[in-house]
Structure 1
Amino acid sequence: MNVTLPRTETSIGTTSLVLLALTALTVIAVAVGALSFSYLLYLLALSGMYVMLALGLNVQWGYGGIINFAVVAFWGLGMYVTALSTARTSPLGLDWHPLVALVVAIVLSVVAAIIVGLPAIRLRADYLAIATLGFSEIFRLIMANESDFTAGMAGLAGIPRILEELFLTTTATNLMIITILSVVVYLLLRRIHRSPWGRVMRTIKADEELAESLGKDSFSFKMQAFVIGCVIMTIAGVYYAHFINYVDPTDLQPLQTFYIWVAVILGGSGSNRGAVVGGIVLVAVLEGTRFVTSIGALAAISTGPVRVLTIGLLIILIMRFKPEGIYPPRDELIWPKSMTSTEDGK
């Protein structure tokens, strides 16, 4: 006899219909020429980068309740390690292979995460936020002012593209690369999210004292989550450097960290699916507001305030109607095979 476990009621069906409708509108826009196909590929490739950043932050905040306002610093670490070691305009003149730069970026990310995390993870939530934000600003100022080593505000150009010969366009190649990276990271995180490690992290987030009483070293688990998230952010930065082929300190503004937090909140804290959807919605808002100035009556409006206003409205609406986010993590925490069980070995 099959025994079906009760499932929590969700509104995923309605959400999926809305997302399908938006997808259909995008296809129609491409078909009628309102949106070029090449630009759509660019937006999808850019969305993949934001998805990676959202997944990295979700490991920290969604899994373990770690407030990290240094997202842009670890993203920038990946960008600058790649640019300084591979770009033809690099003051260091290293000319490394991109794969070597990737490995070095990951190693430096782990080292930086440990250095930042050892003192910061022990702090209370508000002090942790201040500490990580301070590290992010220190990193930005170093990149902006140490012109002898980082090229300063002049930026670094001439970053080589990778696997350029696989497709007719480099944008399609970039989309393929970030899609593979995102899928691998998503599947890995889904696996660990449902593992005993993931269950311990959720216990720590809900009640750290309870986890400690059960013999779990909450600091060790938090450090692991912090390092994993930072490495994912750094890989996203490495990809972005090869994608854009130019980096400078203006990319490292704190507002970028705020955008990633918005993506995680919109999608659903603790939900890997939510991080994916949140990253895509974020790019749709950020890039969609660029077209406001093309409307005659709104031509004088700056797109910057419109972006912030739109994102603020999205947060208000989500918090009002779906406080757990677009895709709450409930269903992700259960292995599909456990939804039905059998008796007597049948």
Structure 2
Amino acid sequence: MSVRNDIADRIPGGDAGLIVAVLLTVYATYVLAGVVLGYSLRGQLNTIAVLTFYIAVFAMLALALNLHWGYTGLFNIGIVGFMAVGIYVMALVSKPVYTPGGAAQVGGLGLPLIVGIIAGMAAAALLGLVIALPALRLRADYLAIVTIAMSEIVRFSFLSGDLGKFQLFGKRVGFGGGSGLILDFTDPMEAFFQFFGLWDAYLGFVGAFEIIIPNNPKPVVDGLVYGVVLLGFVGSYYWLLKRTGESPFGRVLKAIREDEDAANSLGKNTNRFKIKAFMLGCALMGLVGILWLMTSGSITPNFFRPRVTFFIWIALIIGGSGSNTGSILGGAVFAALLFQGPRYAKNLIDTVLPNADAPSSFGPAVAPLFTNFDPAPLFFYTIDSVRQLQLVFMGLVLIWLMHNRPEGMLGHRKETAAGIPLTASRARGPASADGGERGGEVDE
């Protein structure tokens, strides 16, 4: 790989070392914040578990979006719709069969959880196919319009009372409507370890934590272990997309991104390649929707609002589109600084300055800045309203990135486009002076 302006060159281990270094820095910062806030060991471990969860889900979604936008140039702003289809179809397939008098108003088909996960991914991919067939024949901005419209159609469909409950194969099933859907299938953690025959060993592992985390350590350990499992999925996504990008299929996708007409002139059916890439990315997004929400106990359609899609775009832009390493780093930085960071910053400032009074509205907060140049009221108002202003902070960060670092954290990168080295051997003399670069490279 030939890399220009690459931060990873200065860190041992290359891309993997850079990812580990960023994660260790993030965790160390949160642990220090927990010490200042006076968190107990249980509180610290819960913080790490929640942080790991969000880092993993945003990294996976950024990787899936990178396949669409970074590799193929497909402008998908309906990500949350594919997530919704994934988790709702999984619930339809794997929820227990409805029993009168039970807590749940609707049931499912009662199939194993793994079958439901596969069905959810397949449904998300099929929805991607339905969208791609007409939209990819149009310009890229039409695909963006179609995908965001699709995500809203999906959300309002799941809000519909008509789909709240219905009969399927003689069973009472449904999506719950606006009141949401209870996920009363087998505990995913138990199903995961049962699948590998390790459930008893896992219970013994949890029991060992009684010494340092008394009074039911299982929720804390479950959160930590689930975070580790999700990081394993991040590694799987990274491996899959890296292999895809290095394959002949991936090289055609990048050719389409750079110049679709040129790829067409070389005899490539670009529509077929784009549809395959779009379906694969949609399936990966559907899987993340399942992994994100299947442990939550219930789901509601209004979770799947468009802003989640824009969170993922910000994560990808932070890391740099076209780079799988950048997608992971962007997901980690977004989760730690922009998604979870404001809440912890507010807690820290409230702890350090417990008696600071914040103005109740924007007017009293900004007036002292112009009358006597006192920024303190505006600062404390901003901190007190940090959750409400979170989207404003994200917008400011996005504007700064677009002006100062549009290529993302890792800068401009290149990767080998050929399956074999194309550099001329020294024994054959100097390469022809054609002004081209050696190695057959294209931008990553």
TM-score interval (norm. to shorter)? 0.7 to 0.9
Q: Which residue of 1 aligns with 2:157?
A: 142
Higher RCO (C-alpha under 8 Å, 6+ residues apart): 1
Residue of structure 2 aligned with 1:121, choices 136, 142, 164: 136
Deviates more, 1:49-58 or 1:310-319: 310-319
What CA distance in whole angstroms lies between the structure 2 residues aligned with 1:336 and 1:66? 24
Indicate the SS of the match to 2:294. helix
Letter aligned with residue 314 of structure 2: V
Residue of structure 1 aligned with 2:28, choices 14, 24, 30: 24
The residue correspondences of 1:264-283 to structure 2 (distance < 5 A) are 264-283=316-335
Q: Which residue of 1 aligns with 2:88?
A: 80
Deviation at 1:24, TM superposition (A): 3.5
What CA distance in whole angstroms lies between the structure 2 residues aligned with 1:242 and 1:6? 41
Q: Which residue of 2 aligns with 1:212?
A: 264
Summarize deviations over 1:230-262 as a string: whole Å, max 9, x none: 010011011122232221112110111111111
Larger Rg: 2
Check the 8 A contact 1:53/1:236 in 2, yes or no.
Answer: yes
What CA distance in whole angstroms lies between the structure 1 residues aligned with 2:73 and 2:330? 18
Deviation at 1:66, TM superposition (A): 0.4
Check the 8 A contact 2:57/2:292 in 1, yes or no.
Answer: yes
Q: Which residue of 2 aligns with 1:54?
A: 62
Distance 1:213 1:251, change over 3 A: same
Q: Which residue of 2 aligns with 1:102?
A: 117
Check the 8 A contact 2:5/2:413 in 1, yes or no.
Answer: no
What CA distance in whole angstroms lies between the structure 2 residues aligned with 1:139 and 1:276? 28
Residue of structure 2 aligned with 1:161, choices 187, 191, 196: 187
Letter aligned with residue 154 of structure 2: F
Q: Which residue of 1 aligns with 2:244?
A: 192
Q: Which residue of 2 aligns with 1:286?
A: 339
What CA distance in whole angstroms lies between the structure 2 residues aligned with 1:150 and 1:80? 7
Q: In the alignment, does 2:53 pair up with 1:45?
A: yes
What CA distance in whole angstroms lies between the structure 1 residues aligned with 2:386 and 2:159? 25
Letter aligned with residue 70 of structure 1: G
Letter aligned with residue 182 of structure 2: A
What CA distance in whole angstroms lies between the structure 2 residues aligned with 1:156 and 1:37? 29
Residue of structure 2 aligned with 1:112, choices 112, 127, 147: 127
Letter aligned with residue 201 of structure 1: L
Letter aligned with residue 6 of structure 2: T
Deviation at 1:31, TM superposition (A): 5.3
What CA distance in whole angstroms lies between the structure 1 residues aligned with 2:44 and 2:132? 44
Deviation at 1:23, TM superposition (A): 4.5
Distance 1:337 1:10, change over 3 A: farther
Distance 1:163 1:291, change over 3 A: closer
Indicate the SS of the match to 2:408. coil
Deviation at 1:114, TM superposition (A): 0.9
Deviation at 1:329, TM superposition (A): 6.3
Per the normalisation by structure 1, the TM-score is: 0.88
What CA distance in whole angstroms lies between the structure 2 residues aligned with 1:205 and 1:20? 34
What CA distance in whole angstroms lies between the structure 1 residues aligned with 2:137 and 2:411? 28
Deviates more, 1:303-312 or 1:121-130: 303-312
Deviation at 1:334, TM superposition (A): 6.5
Check the 8 A contact 1:38/1:171 in 2, yes or no.
Answer: yes
What CA distance in whole angstroms lies between the structure 2 residues aligned with 1:57 and 1:7? 22
Indicate the SS of the match to 1:8. coil
What CA distance in whole angstroms lies between the structure 1 residues aligned with 2:177 and 2:137? 34
Indicate the SS of the match to 2:188. coil
Q: In the alignment, does 2:408 pair up with 1:325?
A: yes
Distance 1:19 1:173, change over 3 A: closer
Summarize deviations over 1:168-213 as a string: whole Å, max 9, x none: 3221231132122111111111111122222211111111111111
Q: In the alignment, does 2:123 pair up with 1:71?
A: no
Q: In the alignment, does 2:23 pair up with 1:8?
A: no
Check the 8 A contact 1:82/1:105 in 2, yes or no.
Answer: yes
Deviation at 1:283, TM superposition (A): 1.4
Cα RMSD for the two superposed structures: 3.0
Deviation at 1:331, TM superposition (A): 4.3
Task: Give ranges in structure 2 of 5+ residues lacking alignment.
Answer: 97-103, 166-173, 191-198, 207-220, 351-355, 359-379, 429-444
Q: In the alignment, does 2:176 pair up with 1:151?
A: yes
Distance 1:344 1:245, change over 3 A: farther
Distance 1:207 1:6, change over 3 A: closer
The structure with the largest helix share of the pair is 1
The residue correspondences of 1:236-315 to structure 2 (distance < 5 A) are 236-284=288-336, 285-291=338-344, 294=347, 295=350, 296=356, 297=358, 298=380, 301-315=384-398
> Percent sequence identity over matched residues?
32
Letter aligned with residue 226 of structure 2: N
Summarize deviations over 1:267-309 as a string: whole Å, max 9, x none: 1011111111111122121122224554354478444442112
Distance 1:219 1:328, change over 3 A: farther
Distance 1:114 1:25, change over 3 A: same
